[in-house]
Chains A and B, each alone.
Chain A
């Protein structure tokens, strides 16, 4: 190799003197504010006064933590065998959903759409849908197409049921080809509601109710983007010797090998398993707020439905007891051992965590699970902020906080965004925050170290592969939390004698 070249990319390059000068020179053309003025306003944004104004806003939303319904619907759909998620709406939406997921999973995320344009807005989107279904069916050869809608389609009021019927009557797709649909208006709820709508639609339209019931337990994970959780739930059911019907399982399609032969469809819930879903005696839902309509449907089929939040010790205990109760089988010794291993790990680590204060943001169910878990560690949740949390979520979160002495200083913030959160972190600072990658801006602005748990995680690699639920998932989350704290302790002590080898 020739002479060593010192190539600087954006990380170092713009610290070079020539660029620093260039930036300084550019300011004359920018009408830039003086450094003093910027500093003054920056300080003002940290005050109680600013927080008050910030919390009084009615219409402006700044840095929210939620996606729209069809995003969740796309995610629900991809977990079924050879199923193509399909958006009835503008091309841009489909491209956005796919990019958003791919930045998180670093995996292909197939998804089709009918690319509606202005004429569809005027005359209805039926022609686009017919051709879209035909091309998707012919080119990508799925076994099922699961349709959701963009806000455009919802505003013009397209009738999907009728359109699909016509597409079959007019032979765009075979009459016996399964096409399901869910209306997923972006201006109602969030991605967790869209997830629910899609699962509900698929089960309701594909399910075949029969006279005989079976012992398989329907399990629905909800909008859970930790691939390891799907593996973990299968392992837990295996250990129990319980029969599992996992409704929507993207764990293979979003974790496929690189071997030179790309496969668009891998794994997923078999279509026969969906058809049989109504005939289970029972179901377990791992999330509450992404399964509201689905729960009603399962109950209408006469199923015993248990809703759990299997994070940490008590949360996972609930899951164990639910499976045990529904199957009549005892909790397996292996899982009891794993429980002991989680208790063991917490006993090893909690001295670093106990009494530390936390801010938590994320999706409704995940935030509740995390809040309960960190209270088990003796930490104190101070802010639990969930943009797509409803009033009911807020009430449940307040009750959860009140259930522990460690939650006494905590408050739930449903419907608030990250700019509200920024004010909170300045006026009522916490030791650590737990959240998704967007929280890195708050980590920087407020100097509060961040533990990355949530969705999306675009700025760190492979975290989504882990399990966060179950006893093993508890050990994983504990590892992330305690080591972030220890990194912070090292950082704070690096110039002094407390820079200990032993922590």
Chain B
């Protein structure tokens, strides 16, 4: 099939995809696909809806959002995957949330801690077991600063009272025990899991006014929220914030400590990177403490400089001056990266399908390298995400919500992008189709991708993907 382009054939391909569905599924999927023009102000997608059964969606569940994203990276808490063994097993170490500390002693991130439910627990309930295992965990891991209880599907079905157990055990171990009702059947994707986890932190940390380490008061105290430190992202971002003269008193939840989680409420400004997964806490803290928050984007020089200046705007001239000095220092360094890699990537077309904000957040970083993103979509976005995406779009773009395996295959077959950025489930089928691929959830075991240091790695990796010599050998010379 000859390669098509989105501008000329987007609508036609969209129709073809929809025609492959039965009526009921078509009616639903019609609201999830759109081809937008650069100057469009509205995107027709209705998001955050149920998955159609049987289409091989790429989504995860509420537990994945609560444990895998929000709670899991908090390093000095014990996170209990409460229920059968599988959920904790398959999410063990899978998100690359880097954290400093000694594993099993004061850092529990790379561990799988579970109640490993058996049939008798389903029949008789698991509250007693939960209570006992929290005590056992506190004995074996005495330096823990708290416990989270992350419910898997059966817990919500058998009527266990994890809140009561949490209250009771919290008194006994004299540390926070935070229940989180993130059963996988709740909601339609990971997204509700983020929300539920945010609410758990609200109710069990902020509403209880838990205290972190004493903080020296300063107008420059900020909290960095919604960075999960994948491959060290948050550290690379933090380096820039510190260079701007800011004190990052709390970082969450990547490489976060319980103390930082609690101290987030003491920040003068909250900086939020992944708005999708942690906006609930920002909004709550704004309401409760009047703490303002601002979104930022640390992918690629264009957005990094824009974000640095937007953040500096919230502060006095000292910070503004330091920010400009930092930008001046970074500019030639970014320039070197762009000079090296842009000629190797210029004019390439990329298709993205990822979670969080990356489907729009990384578009400018690709553009900094001369790569156009012509197809993009979110695993678990809400309607506002699609409106926001248009701010980033400067050409006709195919947009998909909750893409499934069938749609992905059709899009690749028709548009044959030069590069696809998506997740592990999409990686190998794409590569077998002869298309270079990067995992854009885990940074394909590389990273960081945030900040200046991250952009260098990002550029290097995209070059490796697109220009790997292997892609020239798909067809044997005798064919």
Contact = CB atoms under 8 A, between A and B. Distances in A.
A91 B51 contact: yes
B336 A26 contact: no
A155 B158 contact: yes
Contact of A92 (B22, B64, B113, B258): B64
Contacts of A108: 428-429, 432
B60 A98 contact: no
Interface in B411-433: 423-425, 427-433
Interface string A56-99: 01111111101110110000000000000010011111011111
Contacts of B129: 59
A131 interface: yes
A480 interface: no
Contacts of A100: 89-90
Interface in B146-168: 152-154, 156-158
Contact of A135 (B25, B121, B153, B263): B25
Contacts of A106: 428
A201 interface: no
Nearest to B447: A10
B401 interface: no
A107 B431 CA distance: 10
Interface stretch (B80-88, B201-209, B307-315, B358-366): B80-88
Contacts of A37: 143
B387 interface: no
Contacts of B156: 121
Contact of B434 (A9, A10, A259): A259
A60 B105 contact: no
Interface string A126-138: 0011011111111
Contact of B185 (A96, A120, A187): A120
Given A57-B136, A62-B113, A92-B60, A155 B428 contact: no
A5 B453 CA distance: 12
Given A32-B257, A70-B86, A90-B185, 12 more contacts: A8-B456, A9-B460, A10-B232, A53-B139, A54-B140, A58-B132, A63-B112, A93-B86, A139-B21, A185-B119, A258-B474, A261-B432
B257 A30 contact: yes
A60 B86 contact: no
List 8 A-B pairs, minimum CB-CB distance, nearest first: A92-B61, A68-B86, A135-B54, A132-B53, A132-B54, A260-B434, A186-B84, A96-B90
Contacts of A309: none
B184 A262 contact: no
B434 A23 contact: no
A33 to B, nearest CB: 5
Given A9-B446, A117-B187, A29 B90 contact: no
Contacts of B60: 91-92, 95-96
Contacts of A67: 85-86, 89-90
A262 B85 contact: no
21 contacts: A7-B460, A9-B231, A29-B248, A50-B140, A61-B114, A61-B116, A62-B111, A63-B111, A64-B85, A86-B54, A91-B60, A108-B428, A116-B185, A151-B117, A155-B122, A156-B157, A187-B121, A258-B434, A260-B433, A260-B434, A264-B429
Contact of B85 (A61, A110, A118, A264): A61
A57 B92 contact: no
A97 B474 CA distance: 29
A458 to B, nearest CB: 8
Given A5-B340, A31-B212, A115-B57, A261 B433 contact: yes
A69 to B, nearest CB: 8
A35 to B, nearest CB: 9
B405 interface: yes
Contacts of B140: 50, 53-54, 57, 60, 62, 419
Given A68-B85, A68-B89, A29 B456 contact: no
Contacts of B62: 92
A135 B251 contact: no
Contacts of B136: 57-60
A91 B57 contact: yes
A389 interface: no
Nearest to A257: B432
Interface centre among B54, B76, B102, B117 (most CB of A within 10 A): B54
A317 to B, nearest CB: 35
Interface stretch (B235-243, B283-291, B370-378): B235-243
Nearest to B250: A29
B115 interface: yes
B425 A66 contact: no
Interface string A230-250: 000000000000000000000
B86 A111 contact: no
B470 to A, nearest CB: 8
B431 A117 contact: no
Contacts of B84: 68, 151, 186-187
B446 A10 contact: yes
B339 interface: yes
A95 B189 CA distance: 11
B133 interface: yes
Contacts of A41: 105-106, 142-143
Contact of A8 (B87, B213, B453): B453
Contact of B104 (A45, A107, A152): A45
Contacts of B94: 99, 103
A329 B129 CA distance: 56
A305 interface: no
A38 B101 CA distance: 9
Nearest to A16: B453
B475 to A, nearest CB: 7
Given A3-B336, A187-B119, A19 B57 contact: no
B137 interface: yes
A95 B425 CA distance: 8
A66 B115 contact: no
B74 to A, nearest CB: 11
A148 to B, nearest CB: 12
A158 to B, nearest CB: 12
A279 interface: no
B105 A136 contact: no
B67 to A, nearest CB: 10
Interface string B334-345: 001101100000
Contacts of B89: 64, 66-68, 100
A107 B113 contact: no
B446 A60 contact: no
B31 interface: no
B73 interface: no
Indicate the member of B24, B186, B188, B425 with the most A CB atoms within 10 Å.
B425
Contacts of A162: none
A221 to B, nearest CB: 22
B105 A38 contact: yes
Given A92-B60, A134-B54, A187-B122, A445 B104 contact: yes
Contacts of B188: 117
Contacts of B38: none
B321 interface: no
Nearest to B338: A2
Contact of B106 (A18, A22, A38, A98): A38
A152 B153 contact: yes
A22 B406 CA distance: 46
B85 A190 contact: yes
B104 to A, nearest CB: 7
A379 to B, nearest CB: 28
Contacts of A38: 101-102, 105-106, 143
A257 B432 CA distance: 7
Nearest to B118: A187
A408 interface: no
Nearest to B262: A31
B91 interface: yes
Most central of A106, A135, A257 by chain B CB within 10 Å: A135
B53 A128 contact: yes
B58 interface: yes
B59 interface: yes
